[in-house]
Structure 1
Amino acid sequence: MRVLNGRGALYQKSLTQAHAQALLQFEFEMGWKAAQKLIRHWKIVRGDNVMIIRGKDKGETGLIKRVIRSQNRVIVEGKNLVKKHIKQGQGHEGGIFTVEAPLHASNVQVVDPVTGKPCKVGTRYLEDGSKVRVSRGLGASGSIIPRPEILKIRTTPRPTVAGPKDTPMDLVLEKTYDPKTGMGMPGL
């Protein structure tokens, strides 16, 4: 991350957790809100190789870093960079940070794996019944667009510890209903 110091010189700076929270607060204060009409069926997913078709980075390709479905926007790694001024606060120092700003989903298209051109995405079913994404439109080869491997890694891990409202495994396997008598839950 590039930052200007007090004398105007550029130097690299990492974005800490406190800085990330300050950026989220900045986004909230700027009034970024949910889109009026949400995209119902998303065809662009995290990890896709996309080309920017409109905007200042038009013609450049990159990987989708994050999909913001509530705003119909995506963040492309290293593209659409803007400078954010963050005040010094508790737990973090201030400065000017270069961050990736979200792009509207209509301004990016998935890159065809065969031709390397931007294309639309459709879905088809193979003979074995599995659903796949295929390229379609101008400059498309009709080839299968594979799902990114990064989708197998969850951004928020599933809880491994049983919570207070989770049923213990020994009670899950216990037989509590008798279909012959129609009685259930003995002891209640």
Structure 2
Amino acid sequence: MGWKSYQKLIHQWRILRGDNVMIIRGKDRGETGVVKRVVRSQNRVIVEGKNLVKKHIKQGQGHEGGIFTVEAPLHVSNVQVVDPVTGKPTKVGIRYLEDGSKVRVSRGIGASGSIIPRPEILKIRTTPRPTVAGPKDTPMEVVMERTYDPKTGKGMPDL
């Protein structure tokens, strides 16, 4: 949580990584950017190229020291998702389509009510799936082995 007192954590997040958001409070008010990272444990988001601060970093093994400009996290209440039709900041609601799929829609005063698409970056895995079997992986011939026959009842435990 950091040094601040306990905050109530958000359980249903409306802002996702890759969303186009507008900063509504702070020194970068009115500017838009893409959410680079979501820090759910602190209710904060990092917007690409916004809320820049100077950070003094001490020299260590493998990296140089100096003064660097980095993006500081913003509280989630200080940003809003941009409506894809009007281009204005809007609240995000959830609707279900006729086919049963769940979508995000823009809502609020002056909102178009249009669907806000999920960012494409969420489909890319951050850690790739392993392509070779590891030492703890079950071999495929053991996985595909048939251990129960429903017609004869072979493999059924005696109860």
Q: 1:170 aligns with which of 137, 141, 146?
A: 141
After superposition, the Cα gap between the structure-2 partners of 1:42 and 1:95, relative to the gap in structure 1 and judged at 3 Å, is same
Q: Give 2:133's aligned amino acid.
A: A
Determine if contact 1:122/1:136 at 8 Å carries over to the other structure. yes
What do you get for the CA RMSD once the two structures are aligned? 1.9
Determine if contact 1:35/1:71 at 8 Å carries over to the other structure. no
Inter-partner Cα distance in structure 1 for 2:13 and 2:104: 12
After superposition, the Cα gap between the structure-2 partners of 1:72 and 1:158, relative to the gap in structure 1 and judged at 3 Å, is farther
Inter-partner Cα distance in structure 2 for 1:84 and 1:70: 22
Look up the match of 2:59.
88
Q: Give 1:140's aligned amino acid.
A: A
Q: 2:39 aligns with which of 68, 72, 75?
A: 68
SS at match of 2:26: coil
SS at match of 2:61: coil
Inter-partner Cα distance in structure 2 for 1:109 and 1:93: 36
Inter-partner Cα distance in structure 2 for 1:139 and 1:96: 43
Alignment of 1:1-188 (within 5 A): 31=2, 36-179=7-150, 180-181=153-154, 183=156
After superposition, the Cα gap between the structure-2 partners of 1:162 and 1:129, relative to the gap in structure 1 and judged at 3 Å, is same
Provide structure 2 residue ranges, at least 5 long, that are not aligned to the other structure.
none
**Consecutive aligned runs of 4 or more in structure 1 exceeding 3 Å deviation:** 31-36, 181-184
Provide structure 1 residue ranges, at least 5 long, that are not aligned to the other structure.
1-30
- Displacement of 1:148 after TM fit? 1.1
* Identical positions, percent: 86
TM-score under structure 1 length normalisation: 0.76
Higher helix share: 1
After superposition, the Cα gap between the structure-2 partners of 1:41 and 1:76, relative to the gap in structure 1 and judged at 3 Å, is same
Inter-partner Cα distance in structure 2 for 1:54 and 1:65: 18
Inter-partner Cα distance in structure 2 for 1:90 and 1:33: 31
